[in-house]
Amino acid sequence: MQETEQAVDFKVAAQLGLNKDEFDKICSVLGRVPNFTEVSVYSVMWSEHCSYKNSIKYLKTLPRDGGRLLVAAGEENAGLIDIGEGIACAFKIESHNHPSAIEPYQGAATGVGGIHRDIFTMGARPIAALNSLRFGDPNHPHMRHLIKGVVSGIGDYGNCLGVPTVGGEVYFDACYQQNILVNAMSVGIVKIGETISACADGPGNPVFIVGSATGRDGIHGATFASADLTENSAEDLPAVQVGDPFQEKLLLEATLEIIKTGAVVGMQDMGAAGISCSTSEMSAKSGTGMIINLDLVPTRQQNMHAWEMLLSESQERMLVVVHKGREKEITAIFDKWDLECAQIGEVTDTGRLEYFRHGQKVADIPAFSLVLGGGAPVYDREYTRPAYMDEIKPYDPPAPADTELVSIAHRIMNSPNIASKRWVYEQYDHTVRTGNTNTNDPSDATIVRLKDTDKSLAVTVDCNSAYVHADPYIGAMIAVSEAARNIRCSGGIPLGVTNCLNFGNPYNPEVYYQFVHAIKGMGEACRKYGTPVTGGNVSFYNQSVLKDRTEPVFPTPTIGMVGLVEKKEHATTLSFKKEGDHILMLGALPNNADGSVYIREIMGQRLTACPEFNLDSEFKLHEVISQLIGASMVASAHDVSEGGLLTSLTESAMAGSLGYNISLPAGVRKDIFLFSESQGRIVISVNKENLTKTEELLDKQAIPFIRLGTVTSPVMTIDGLDFGACLLYTSPSPRDGLLSRMPSSA
């Protein structure tokens, strides 16, 4: 049966998301007008999701090497960091925003599956998962549906796969009402020298497709992820992939087993753009080509067209290049695990991708022309400072009476972005197959022990999008700094960053301004902390297209950071340990409450300035807290972030089933002191034996600090005011002691 295709002109190309210049460039590269299969391949490979055509110029300005980085940023499916003793950590974060907004369960589930495949494709075993979730109004019926689906999808996939979800964050804001954000991070471990590259070396070597059969799910998923969500986006449901975690578990084990044989030349996960992406990227990386016979690809549906097979984003599939003559070793292992394993082609020395269907050549494309860093287009968009930023002014709220502070504190602690997320994480298995130490005593970052060593990983995801919206440059710096601060407070040293950059439409000059300046701020902070950006994901077009306007989400550059805790005894938790311990706040006194939950939610000033921040002071504080922890001088450490000092104190008290009695410094505005989110501050508790030594070290390093008071029984007292009692239990979350819950119907 011969493939019959419609004729191609610019009108057809435009329907696939290509502009006139891009279509002309394709014609120039091929020396002819492309056929429908070829233009379909270009449309997905040159989509924003695959090519980063509107972002790569600025991504390249981020620090991309140095430190313990073992592979350059973007070289492989995930970042790779040397953590000592011959062990490396592979890690990456990616988005699955648009699919989750349309079909929340499968969208979130396949996001988890995809990020784990990026890790084990390199030869690393995933040991931990994290996520960053952004939703709209949790009381809205449709938003409840989305929340329930996303959380269930993440939990079910991870639980079935046997990879614990050990950390994350959940935020609610009206800007995400139509376009939610679902960012998933995976962390894995591998011995140095036992990794596999995503390359296709060796002409004549056979090419295998392994794992699930290919279906029509996810076709044009990359294109779908590179366009606005609209009221009609539900019609794009076929662009959402369908996951099978049980299949992925088999694929994980089979993949790690075939790597040990030494028969594998290279391997790549089939995510966005499916076969077209994996064949082109693996070939381009090696300067080779491939001949692919699509008739040999196992399929789930009959009569699939060549372009459907090439673009399908069916999950749980890999492309594997094997040393010639060792095919039987590979097929035997996949047979043992009851997985499809079919040879579909071979590597060539032509540099071209030649796809065949029903005995005819249906596409002939230079591999290099398709890929990021090769022939894919690169744009530098114009940008303009957003008009709303000129309206942002410092806000000085009227000082409340002392008696009002208690009710304000309760409102802050019960606000959706501060209150307990127990209803989320209890759906995740956070203990299976792991050395997660945060189960009973939480830390600012999650601590995951590494078996057979004295080391642990400290991992976290962080971003306050309200800060980035107020000032993209400073807000992005804060996101990196908070991640680093969380790792330092947990006893670790930051090693590397992966990012998931969630923004609106890059063709909007104000959105692009946010993107460019967030990159600049992120880069400056990463260079300060010595944390190279190992890779990640850019997700544009996150906005709501309404009848009378388009509203981008708050710029949300989510930071995933990995750190190393060298010795078990350095792992530090945030919980107060015993009555009588002294409580100190490190860092300068706050001057205002800009950017805080207090200003935004309690005082109703949604458009507010960024919190106070100084990168040099922040870095110095990080160095000193590491010195204190290394010298075993602190009982607990917890950063001051969302909700301010009162929230930090209360979280430390709740986690330890204790309380506190503190006195505020003379002359301070009590509401500002308690609720400000000014950065560069840490709360520590110190026993009386270490108090003098701690204060001497802080004085020597010129770190400002104040004694706040002492740890007490489970009653919280501030300047004689009773702020209530903590609930007497501990849990994996620092915010668990709160009575606020997502309603059971959610």
Q: Where are the alpha helices (DSSP H) in 165-210?
A: none
Predicted confidence (pLDDT) per residue in 397-412, tens digit: 899 999 899 999 999 9
- Of 235-249, 273-287, 628-642, the least confident: 235-249
pLDDT at 662 over 60: yes
What does the block give as tokens for 364? 């002939």
**pLDDT of 224 higher than 90:** no
Residue 174 token pair: 């009206």
Pairing of strands 550-552, 636-639: unpaired
β pairing state of 556-565 and 659-662: unpaired
Confidence label for 738 from pLDDT (cuts 50, 70 and 90): very low
pLDDT confidence band for 217 (50 / 70 / 90): confident
Amino acid at residue number 209? I
Phi, psi of 339 (to 5 degrees): -120, 145
Q: Which two tokens stand for residue 57?
A: 């110029």
CA 422/CA 727 separation, integer angstroms: 14
The answer for residues whose C-beta is within 8 angstroms of residue 328's C-beta and 6 or more apart is none
Gap between the Cα atoms of 299 and 362, Å rounded? 18
pLDDT the model gives residue 432: 58
Which residues lie across from 565 on neighbouring strands? 456
Which structure tokens are listed for 584?
A: 């100190």
Task: Collapse the DSSP code of 116 into the 3-class scheme (helix H, G, I; strand E, B; otherwise coil) and give the result.
Answer: helix
DSSP 3-state of 642: coil
- Please report which confidence band the pLDDT of residue 441 belongs to, taking 50, 70 and 90 as the band edges: confident
Neighbours of 192 (CB within 10 A): 14
Altogether, the residues listed in the chain come to a count of 746
Cα 38 to Cα 281, 308, 357, 531, 593, distances in angstroms: 16, 11, 13, 40, 56
What digits encode the pLDDT tens for the residues 302-316? 889 999 999 998 889
Strands 659-662 and 715-718, by their bridges, are: parallel
C-alpha–C-alpha distance, residues 134 and 131, integer Å: 10
Cα-trace Rg, the chain? 26
Using DSSP bridges, classify how beta strands 493-502 and 533-539 pair: parallel, antiparallel or unpaired. Answer: parallel
Q: Which residues pair with 126 in a beta bridge?
A: 188
Q: Which amino acid is at 375?
A: G
Q: How confident is the model at residue 452 (pLDDT cuts 50, 70, 90)?
A: confident
**pLDDT band of 229, cuts 50, 70, 90:** low
Share of the chain above pLDDT 90, in %: 82
**DSSP H or E segment with residue 684:** strand 682-686
Q: For residue 464, give both structure tokens.
A: 């306050």
Which pLDDT belongs to residue 650?
A: 95
Q: Cα(705)–Cα(710) distance, rounded to whole angstroms? A: 15
Q: Measure the CA angle with vertex 270, ends 330 and 102; round to 5°.
A: 145
Closest CA to 147 of 411, 455, 424, 461: 424
233 pLDDT above the threshold of 60: no
Q: Give the pLDDT band of residue 422 (cuts 50, 70, 90).
A: confident
Cα torsion 498, 502, 506, 512 to 10°: value is -80
d(CA 633, CA 687): 8
**Phi, psi (degrees; rounded to nearest 5) at 450:** -100, 120
Mean pLDDT of the 521-540 span: 96
Residues 88 and 195: beta-carbon distance below 8 Å? yes
Residue 733 has pLDDT above 90, yes or no: no
How sure is the predictor about 739, in pLDDT bands with cuts at 50, 70 and 90? Answer: very low
The confidence score (pLDDT) of residue 226 equals 44
Query: Cα(443)–Cα(730) distance, rounded to whole angstroms?
Result: 12
| Backbone angle region of 667, left / alpha / beta, with phi > 0 → left and psi within -120 to 50 → alpha | left
∠ CA(488), CA(117), CA(561), 5° rounding?
15
- Please say if the pLDDT value at position 357 is more than 80: yes
pLDDT digits (tens, 9 = 90+) for 157-201: 998 898 999 999 999 999 999 999 999 999 999 999 999 999 999
Which whole-number Å values give the CA distances from 323 to 205, 210, 246, 267, 326, in the listed order?
6, 16, 28, 12, 6
Q: Is the pLDDT of residue 272 over 90?
A: no
How confident is the model over 542-601, as pLDDT tens digits? Answer: 998 877 888 999 999 999 999 999 999 999 999 999 999 999 999 999 999 999 999 999
pLDDT at 629 over 60: yes
Q: Are 652 and 578 in contact (CB under 8 A)?
A: no
Distance of CA 434 to the CA centre of its chain: 20
- Given a cut of 90, is residue 476 above it in pLDDT? yes
Catalytic residues: 49, 96
pLDDT score of 421 = 85
Please report how many Cα atoms fall inside a 13 Å half-sphere around the Cα of residue 534, on the Cβ side. Answer: 31
Give every strand in the sheet of 705-712, ordered side by side.
636-639, 682-686, 582-586, 705-712, 659-662, 715-718, 721-725
Residue 734 has pLDDT above 90, yes or no: no
pLDDT at 730 over 90: no
User: Average of pLDDT values for 454-467?
Assistant: 96
| Cβ atoms of residues 628 and 607 within 8 Å | no
Q: Is the separation of the CB atoms in 610 and 697 below 8 Å? A: no
Check residue 30 and give its pLDDT.
97
pLDDT computed for residue 427 by the predictor: 83
pLDDT, greater one: 730 or 5: 5
Per the prediction, the chain carries an average pLDDT of 91
Dist CA 451 CA 489 (whole Å): 22
Which distant-in-sequence residues (6+ apart) come within 8 Å of 329 by Cβ?
258, 261, 263
- d(C-alpha 347, C-alpha 351), whole Å: 9
Strand 550-552 vs strand 543-545: parallel, antiparallel, or unpaired? antiparallel
> Tens of pLDDT along 372-386?
989 999 999 999 999
